[in-house]
């Protein structure tokens, strides 16, 4: 059963059209938030919004947004404001990877992913911070276990997630005492649209593996955000891997990731 909706609680979730973002929207709705769903694909978000409204009696707003540029992120802020909405939670979740050798991968795709995975996170966090400070709100940034070490065959992606983790922890420390908390959600490989978009079904990281569901990952992220945790890594093995890389030489760790990730 859903909790009652508090009019002060409005969450903006990016990448809400599929995967972890869609599941996060479900979590926020079940937790009593009105939700603003943002991504490029409007149709799946309209269906989700209708479903969430029906089940939880909340207001679900859909905003079509392409966040692969600073201008796109600024436009999303303007679109939220033009609806007279002030948010109390921001889930920077939209993101993607491109799998393949750097020598042959597509530069335009990599640069666009950097805009989405990093620039949009910074723009939205900064421009929504006044709302979040006023509402003692929460930021939930979807990083990845990729954040903890370099990632051959997804070199740019791993670097973007290291950025998200570092950025999240740094602003969490700056915001101590303000009432605003920042949580970095660091999932390992998760069943979602991610593998299709990254074209990575032949990577040893996912091929033949049973991956956790986006719903299970989102539930862990949402709970950690509610508890004000700074970093959460779903799954005991993922947690162990993330800790163990701190004690091994980086060259060794990078070689291990290379052999785990390579096409099989």
Ligand X SMILES: NC(=O)c1ccc[n+]([C@@H]2O[C@H](COP(=O)([O-])OP(=O)(O)OC[C@H]3O[C@@H](n4cnc5c(N)ncnc54)[C@H](OP(=O)(O)O)[C@@H]3O)[C@@H](O)[C@H]2O)c1
Query: Does 222 participate in catalysis according to the annotation?
Result: no
Q: 150 or 193: whose CB is closer to ligand X? A: 193
Q: Which of 11, 12, 15, 128 binds ligand X (CB under 6 A)?
A: 15
Q: Looking at 65-215, which runs of residues are DSSP E strands?
A: 89-92, 138-142, 181-185
What are 206's two structure tokens? 């996912």
Considering only residues 101-140, where is the footprint of ligand X by CB under 6 A?
A: 116
Handedness of CA 4, 5, 8, 13 (dihedral sign): positive
Q: Looking at 85-161, which runs of residues are DSSP E strands?
A: 89-92, 138-142
Q: Which of 193, 215, 216, 256 binds ligand X (CB under 6 A)?
A: 193
Q: 185 or 253: whose CB is closer to ligand X? A: 185
Q: Which of 13, 18, 132, 231 binds ligand X (CB under 6 A)?
A: 18
**Stretch binding ligand X (CB under 6 A), from 4-12, 25-33, 91-99, 222-230:** 91-99
Q: In what helix (H) or strand (E) does residue 14 lie, and over which residues does it extend?
A: strand 10-14
Q: Which of 66, 110, 131, 169 binds ligand X (CB under 6 A)?
A: 66
Catalytic residue among 33, 96, 157, 158: 157
Handedness of CA 201, 206, 211, 216 (dihedral sign): negative
Question: Minimum Å distance from CB 136 to ligand X?
Answer: 25
Question: Coil, strand or helix: which one is 3?
Answer: coil
Alpha-carbon gap, residue 233 to 235, rounded angstroms: 6
In the complex, residue closest to ligand X by CB: 19
41 is an interface residue for ligand X by CB under 6 A:
yes
Q: What phi and psi, each to the nearest 5 degrees, are found at residue 101?
A: -65, 135
8 Å CB contact between 215 and 192? no
Q: 151 or 187: whose CB is closer to ligand X? A: 187
Residues in Cβ contact with 172 at an 8 Å cutoff, skipping those fewer than 6 apart: 181, 182, 183, 230
Considering only residues 196-255, where is the footprint of ligand X by CB under 6 A?
A: 197, 214
Instruction: Tell me, rounded to whole angstroms, the distance of Cα 255 from its chain centroid.
Output: 27
Q: What phi and psi, each to the nearest 5 degrees, are found at residue 75?
A: -65, -40
Q: 168 or 190: whose CB is closer to ligand X? A: 190
Q: Which of 125, 149, 183, 190 binds ligand X (CB under 6 A)?
A: 190
8 Å CB contact between 58 and 34? yes
**Stretch binding ligand X (CB under 6 A), from 46-54, 186-194, 230-238, 247-255:** 186-194
172 is an interface residue for ligand X by CB under 6 A:
no
94 is an interface residue for ligand X by CB under 6 A:
yes
> Active-site residues: which are they?
157
Where on the chain is the footprint of ligand X (CB under 6 A)? 14-21, 39-41, 65-68, 93-96, 116, 142, 144, 187, 189-190, 192-194, 197, 214
């Amino acid at each position: 059963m859903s909790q009652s909706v508090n009019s002060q609680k409005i969450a903006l979730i990016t990448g809400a059209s599929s995967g972890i973002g869609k599941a996060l929207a479900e979590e926020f709705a079940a937790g009593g938030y009105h939700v603003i769903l943002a991504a490029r694909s409007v149709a799946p978000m309209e269906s989700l919004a209708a479903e969430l409204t029906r089940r939880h009696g909340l207001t679900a707003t859909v905003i079509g947004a392409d966040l692969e540029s600073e201008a796109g992120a600024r436009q999303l802020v303007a679109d939220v404001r033009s609806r007279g909405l002030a948010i109390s939670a921001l889930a920077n979740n939209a993101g993607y990877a491109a799998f393949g050798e750097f020598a042959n991968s597509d530069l335009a795709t990599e640069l666009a992913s950097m805009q989405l995975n990093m620039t949009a996170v910074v723009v939205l966090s900064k421009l929504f911070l006044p709302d979040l400070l006023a509402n003692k709100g929460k930021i939930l940034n979807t990083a990845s276990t990729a954040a903890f070490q370099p990632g051959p065959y997804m070199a740019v992606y791993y670097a973007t997630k290291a950025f998200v983790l570092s950025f999240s922890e740094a602003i969490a420390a700056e915001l101590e005492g303000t009432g605003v908390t920042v949580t970095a959600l660091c999932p390992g490989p998760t069943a979602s649209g991610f593998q299709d978009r990254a074209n990575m079904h032949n990577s040893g990281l996912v091929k033949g593996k049973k991956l956790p569901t986006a719903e299970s990952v989102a539930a862990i992220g949402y709970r950690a955000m509610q508890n004000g945790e700074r970093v959460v890594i779903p799954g005991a093995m993922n947690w162990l891997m993330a800790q163990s890389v701190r004690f091994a030489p980086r060259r060794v760790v990078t070689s291990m990731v290379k052999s785990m990730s390579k096409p099989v």
